[in-house]
Amino acid sequence: MLGQNQIEIEGIILDKETKEPIPFANIYNKSSKKGTISNADGYFRILNNEVTDTITISFIGYKEQIIKIKADQKNYLIYLEVNILLLNEVTVTPKANSYLFELVQASKKSISSIERKSKAYYELKSFADGSQIELVEGYYNIDVKGYSLMNLHLKAGRIALGNHRNRFFVSLESSRALLMLNLFGRNDYFPVNPMELSKSKLRKNYYLNLESKYLDGTNDSIYIIEYIPKDTSGLFFNGKIWINKTKNHLIKITLNCDNTLKHPFLPLFPSDKISNVSFNLTQSFNTSDGQIVFNHTDFIYKIDYVSRIGTTQEQKSTFLTKAVLYAYDYENSFNLPFFNFKDFNIGDYRKINAMPYNDFFWTYHDEYRLNDSINTNELFFIDSSSLTNKTLFKSNTILKHGLFEHPYISWSGNRIKFREILSDTSVANAPTGFKSEQYKLAVKIYLDINSYRDSTHIITSTIIDPYESFYHLPMNNQTHCFINIYFDLCEIARRELEEKLNAQTNNVYQAKEIYSDFLTRFEIKSNEYLKAVVRGTIEKEMIKYNNIVYEILGIDNIELFQPYKNEK
């Protein structure tokens, strides 16, 4: 609900000359210090605290524009002007354009070694035959080192999948593909780009042409350089480079390649095939505290996918995926959930699976995001025919086999059974020798604290981490009973933690202290149980702990599993 003096406006940002939409332009309210970005159609929505607020519209290559909000106007059509051109020519002689090769090399010297953090918004949409079939949306803290994106730390994420020919297709790890692109180093999964080459190799492999140059808002000279590969087989990118010649900074680059021979994508199943992969990427960079830092990546790729299932006509599909990662706040970062992903290589889907759906965040947050006039993401997410991460990883889902063999398991009244640990989650060479070293029950207590204005919301969950759990001893009813009681005792501890947090927590720092103290006691109590019951073999101790679970949770594991029936 909008405050008394708040007004939400919407608009479309267009190029003044071409009337084409400008995607991913930055819209920022200096009064509220809140902003957003335009979508692929140039559309944006933004909430302003006061009718008297002004917003700034900026995009590389265009003059910044300031819009004063009018009380009686909700819709705005905004035309951005290209910065004043100083030159518009094409240079073709090798000697005349030598300075362009020097300029590209000089821009690489401005790479900063300082590590920074920023909030970032991520959106991925996939389409088949013009219809949306996938949405992945998330907020991250990102680690940045100069131009390079180093790591992504998930704050909140959501997924929705639409049916295509009675099947579902997923981009399991596309955000990781963005991390894999090293603009200034060798790339095993992407075509070659000019920034990774020495000057001699750049001359050998590329033609450079000066397309134009202009003065930006600070009177710095910006050069736009077109680069064309001599080898057009699909091993090299082509595109344009924006360089601030005054400061020798790279500020933007486009990377395009049709039918590339190198890409980071694998089919979902070994018998499927991927072909005709085409890339269109854009990376831009900004200045923060005098340092050049990552600003955004938008990543469009098109693939032909041949499935092992269906008729010959049904087997081949062409998919178009549009993804954007936008860094928007180097002054602040999210309070991340308390949950340790030991393996940073875990993909988007499994990380989102591990985290309880954060309805409070998605309902109330006022962070940067892509919008459109009809709330397409919301409609796709709530569509009754869409599978979402509210249901996608549950045991009765249509996708319970194949893609998500080892989802993180949140506690519920349903009983669990360990099965043989497969290679994608098993720890490397589990210890041998003592029986106590031949199993590990990695149960973690998840905690996330979210604030919006005067409201604070706490989410906790008891989760089995399949990437750290293993059990290499015989499986029987005694084992199942032992494991479930342990999981239940962890859930009881979680409830006690949540009750204490709700009663005593006024801020994140206090919550951290309570949580830290809880983890110490949690480990002690867990070890007491494991030592007392010796994998469920000590009946007396098992009965004692079973009674605790039954009294608090109403679950009688001994009655359900009958672990000592054969002995009697």
Q: Is 391 part of a structural domain of the chain?
A: no
Neighbours of 99 (CB within 10 A): 15
Residues 155 and 557: their CA atoms lie apart, in Å, by 35
To the nearest 10°, the Cα dihedral for 88, 90, 94, 99?
20
| 161 CA to centre of own chain | 16
Tell me which residue has tokens 């110490």: 520
Whether 52 and 128 map to the same domain: the answer is no
> Into how many domains does the chain fold?
3
Residue 130: its pLDDT value, please? 82
Domain boundary among the residues 82, 112, 147 is at: 82
Per-residue pLDDT tens digits for 273-309: 888 999 999 999 998 888 889 999 999 999 998 877 6
Count how many residues are written for the chain: 568
Say yes or no to pLDDT of 429 above 90. no
Whether 47 and 112 map to the same domain: the answer is no
Per-residue pLDDT tens digits for 120-171: 999 999 999 888 999 999 999 999 998 889 999 999 999 999 988 877 888 8
Q: Is 363 part of a structural domain of the chain?
A: no
Whether 92 and 39 map to the same domain: the answer is no
Domain boundary among the residues 305, 320, 336 is at: 336
Residue 489: its pLDDT value, please? 98
Residues 524 and 58: their CA atoms lie apart, in Å, by 55
What is the extent of the structural domain holding 413?
Answer: 405-561
The arithmetic mean of pLDDT across residues 388-417, rounded, is 68
384 band by pLDDT with thresholds 50, 70 and 90: confident
Residues 379 and 385: their CA atoms lie apart, in Å, by 11
Q: Is pLDDT larger for residue 161 or for residue 31? A: 161
Q: Is 360 part of a structural domain of the chain?
A: no
Q: Which residues does residue 241 pair with via DSSP β-bridges, in sequence order? A: 225, 253
Residue 408: its pLDDT value, please? 86
Residue 283 φ then ψ, to 5°: -120, 135
CATH number at residue 29: 2.60.40.1120
Whether 442 and 307 map to the same domain: the answer is no
Whether 115 and 75 map to the same domain: the answer is no
Q: Is pLDDT larger for residue 392 or for residue 41? A: 41
Whether 239 and 260 map to the same domain: the answer is yes
Per-residue pLDDT tens digits for 158-206: 999 998 887 788 887 778 888 888 899 888 899 999 999 999 999 999 9
Whether 48 and 95 map to the same domain: the answer is no
Residues 282 and 293: their CA atoms lie apart, in Å, by 15
Per-residue pLDDT tens digits for 511-541: 889 999 999 999 999 999 999 999 999 999 9
Q: What is the 3-state secondary structure (H, E, C) of 11-23?
A: EEEEECCCCCECC
Kindly list the distances between the CA atom of residue 481 and the CA atoms of 188, 395, 469, 475, 492, in Å, as whole numbers in the listed order. 48, 20, 17, 10, 16
Q: Is 100 part of a structural domain of the chain?
A: yes
Whether 98 and 239 map to the same domain: the answer is yes
Residues 203 and 100: their CA atoms lie apart, in Å, by 10
Q: Is 171 part of a structural domain of the chain?
A: yes
3-class secondary structure, 59? coil
Q: Is 254 part of a structural domain of the chain?
A: yes
Q: Does the pTM exceed 0.95? A: no
Residues 6+ apart with CB under 8 A from 129: 164, 317, 318
Residue 192 φ then ψ, to 5°: -70, 140
Q: Is 493 part of a structural domain of the chain?
A: yes
Whether 17 and 160 map to the same domain: the answer is no
Residues 32 and 145: their CA atoms lie apart, in Å, by 28
Domain boundary among the residues 27, 55, 82 is at: 82
Q: Is 370 part of a structural domain of the chain?
A: no
| 149 CA to centre of own chain | 12
Say yes or no to pLDDT of 317 above 90. no
Q: Are 195 and 208 spatial neighbours (Cβ–Cβ below 8 Å)?
A: no
Q: Is pLDDT larger for residue 426 or for residue 549? A: 549
Residue 426: its pLDDT value, please? 44
Residues 533 and 549: their CA atoms lie apart, in Å, by 15
Kindly list the distances between the CA atom of residue 450 and the CA atoms of 158, 266, 334, 547, in Å, as whole numbers in the listed order. 16, 36, 9, 35
The arithmetic mean of pLDDT across residues 53-80, rounded, is 92
Residues 39 and 309: their CA atoms lie apart, in Å, by 35
Whether 60 and 108 map to the same domain: the answer is no
Whether 179 and 244 map to the same domain: the answer is yes
Whether 319 and 415 map to the same domain: the answer is no
